[in-house]
Amino acid sequence: MSVYKKTIAFAVAVLMCFPASATVGSAFAEEDTETATEITTTEETIEETITEETDDGFLTSGDFLYSIIDDDSVCIEGCTSEETELVIPETIDGMTVSELSGTAFGNTPDRPYTSITIPQTVTYISKDNPFIYCIALQEVIVDTANENYISENGVIYTADKSLLVCYPLEKNETEFDIPEGVKEIGVAAVYGTKLTKINLPSTLETIERYSFGNNLNIKSIDMSNTAVEYIDFAGFVENTSLEEVIFSDKLTKIGDGAFMLCSSLEEINLPDGLTFIGQGAFIGTAMTQVEIPDSVTEIGYSAFGYEDESTPKSDFTIIASYGSAGHIYATDTDTEYDYKNDFDFITHEAFAEQAEYNSFEKSIYEDFEYTVIDDEAVITLCMSSDIKIEVPSEINGLPVTRIYTRAFEGSKAEEIIIPESVKTIDKLAFYNCASLHNLTINGAETIGESAFALCESLSDVVISGNLKSFGDDEPFISCTLLQSITITDGDGEYISENGILYSKDKSKLLLYPPLKTGKEFTVPSGVKEIGMSAFCNNAYIEKINLSGVETIGLYAFENSAKLKDVVLPKTLKTVLGYAFADCPSLMGIRVYENTDTIGNYAFGYRFDGSVDGSGNALYTDNMALVEGFKIYADKNTTAYNYGKACNIEVVSGTINIFGKNVVIGFLWAVGAIVGILVIGLIGVGVFRNSKNKKKKSPDKRKEKKNED
């Protein structure tokens, strides 16, 4: 199907705003003339009053079309009256008027009625809203004896006021307070009015299709104090003056075309908890960006960033988390409908940082851009092209205390020296400084998340001993040439030993540099935790002994290419996700019964090796099993169950001897054989001893005789 066909189908669905539909009790309309005559002849009086039957099978009486519900009641299906003040009769042709269908007052937008009076006999009014085509309607009057519906100030509700049925299109007011107790706004119930302001009740839960559509003078709608969970199809369609929408925090679903053609709407704040955004929900708005919560799991075609159903905006930005529905939508493709999104994408965090950065009043000092916060200078951008950069300790008499997010991103410097005055280095501050070899940080107390990520040439780092906090466990992620980390003396929370980074009490190993040489490593006694990505991308280690360790963090040994021998201790309790992912030389591992938590893809998996059309490797979250990988574990342990669930071969009934997993049954067999051999040898010895004794006896006797 082409985009054109899909677009037309969607547009027609929107423009055919209020299609006629059969109401409850109108099944008679499906019957043929013969059946109708047969039914109506059950009472002579009814048969005599039938004057005409329409092509639809409806009956007519004066200005009204109707269908018979049963022998005693009818449903009004249409009206041809040209009166401005229309009164619905209590009976037609001797039968009670009890229902009004969706087309009770006509099905074209030219009905002349300024007033409609509903009799006490009506028990049901179609949810498709029969009043919608009454473009001159100013009031609806309901007989006070009616037990199912009421009218207040010309507005009609169900008797319990839980449903607002219709606010007349030509009612001459500018503000409307929807009463407390109303839970649902009916189909097109407040459509195309003169209102400039609508106040919603706290009891409101559902906004039906077209409920508030085509209100050209409404500038703001506030649902924050309501319980609205669902906005149905085209709920606010073509409110061209709408500039502000405040959603309920209970909202979970925004239907197709809900805010379509709200051309003045420039921004929205979608609530956490929202899960569904329908097709074309915000087509034709003035929005240039949208922030999509992680709770959203489904986004329909052309929901955001489209001028119309088939024309995407060229400068639209999606703000979301990596891997979320919003992220997918930014570049979503559908071959069936021949469309492809190509919107700019930015994460929530980066967007917030960008907004903060834009709010700063910035100045220039030498090769640095900076801002002043609380009488301290913050470096926001380094513009130097020098190979060696020394960050100033003060600017215009103000101490330089902070390096802002991404301030040095992409710098070509090979060496950077940061003075003692700098206490805070924000996350990603030195991201992708690809030429940086040496880094000296003289006084920092806080280093943010991934502050030096992707500094691919970085080999040696010296950090102040006053450091108290890393923003995460991956400050040097993807620094694949890093050989050594040195922590100087100080009262901080970290130490180094042989170029390895530990917590001060040495209970946690945070980073073993990827290019640190050595084939074998035994963690020092006292280390209880291996940090996230601690050995990630290691190029040398073949064997590691984790004696005493209790927790192995996320990605701890990911892509350790030569690692083939891992000794896990009986003290180990937790192995988090991807801990040993992509370790191609590791073909087996022994896990003991005390290990009670094993994360996704912790053992036995590799990344699937996807490539793009040019044969370049792609990093994906798709995982494949390592062929031949085995887990050695006792039956019914966490490791045993993990292996079975992942279709990894599990070998139980083994014991580790000198680093080898040996089947216990084999040991018993060997033991039995050895036992037999021992017994045999003992028997041979006894036999030989007996023979020797026999041989010696004559000699002794001879000796005895000689003595005599």
Is the separation of the CB atoms in 165 and 190 below 8 Å? Answer: no
Query: What are the residue boundaries of the structural domains of the chain, listed by start?
Result: 1-17+191-359, 360-456+469-484
Which residue type is seen at 665? G
Query: Using CB atoms within 10 A of its CB, is residue 235 exposed (0-12), middle (13-18) or buried (19+)?
Result: buried
Helix (H, G, I), strand (E, B) or coil at 147: coil
Q: What is the pLDDT of residue 473?
A: 67
What are the residues whose beta carbons fall under 8 Å from the beta carbon of 172, sequence distance 6 or more? Answer: 138, 194
Higher-scoring residue by pLDDT: 655, 314: 314
Confidence at residue 622, expressed as pLDDT on a 0 to 100 scale:
78
**Inter-residue contact 315 to 292 (CB < 8 Å):** no
Residue 18 pLDDT exceeds 50: no
- If pLDDT is split at 50, 70 and 90, which confidence band does 653 have? confident
What does the pLDDT average to over 339-368? 93
Q: Using alpha carbons only, what angle is made at residue 294 by residues 429 and 426, rounded to the nearest 5 degrees?
A: 10
Give the helix/strand (H/E) hosting 39. helix 33-40
Statement: residue 54 has pLDDT above 80: no
- Give the contacts of 278 (CB within 8 A, at least 6 positions apart): 233, 253, 254, 255, 256, 257, 258, 300, 303
Secondary structure of residue 79 in the 3-state scheme: strand
Phi, psi values for residue 419, rounded to 5°: -70, 165
- Do the two domains 1-17+191-359 and 360-456+469-484 of this chain adopt the same fold? yes
pLDDT in tens, 114-157: 999 999 999 999 999 999 999 999 999 999 999 999 999 999 99
Q: Which two tokens stand for residue 17?
A: 């705003």
Q: What is the pLDDT of residue 41?
A: 29
CATH superfamily of 360-456+469-484: Ribonuclease Inhibitor (3.80.10.10)
* CATH (one of 3.80.10.10, 3.40.50.1220, 3.40.50.300, 3.30.420.40) for 1-17+191-359: 3.80.10.10
Contact 394, 416 (CB under 8 A): no
pLDDT(475) > 90: no
Distance CA 433, CA 454 (A): 7
For the chain, the C-alpha Rg in angstroms (whole number) is 40
Model pLDDT, residue 24: 26
**Average pLDDT in the 181-186 region?**
97
Q: How confident is the model at residue 681 (pLDDT cuts 50, 70, 90)?
A: low
Handedness of CA 561, 564, 568, 572 (dihedral sign): positive
Q: Which long-range contacts (CB under 8 A, 24 or more apart) does 89-95 make?
A: 89/64, 89/119, 90/119, 90/120, 90/121, 91/121, 92/61, 92/64, 92/66, 93/46, 93/49, 93/50, 93/59, 93/61, 94/45, 94/46, 94/49, 95/46, 95/68, 95/71
User: Average pLDDT in the 484-499 region?
Assistant: 95
Amino acid 219: pLDDT:
97
In this predicted structure, what is the pLDDT of residue 661?
A: 59
Q: What share of the chain is helix, strand, coil (3-state, %, to 5)?
A: 15, 25, 60
Q: At residue 16, does pLDDT exceed 70?
A: no
| Cβ atoms of 347 and 12 closer than 8 Å | no
Q: Tell whether pTM > 0.85.
A: no
Amino acid at 25: G
The kind and range of the H/E element at 66 are: strand 64-68
Classify each residue of 581-618 as buried b or exposed e, where b means 16 or more C-beta atoms within 10 Å of its C-beta. Answer: bbbeebebbbbbeebeebbebbbbbbbeeeeeeeeeee
Least confident of 148-162, 278-292, 463-477, 502-516: 463-477
Cβ atoms of residues 531 and 473 within 8 Å: yes
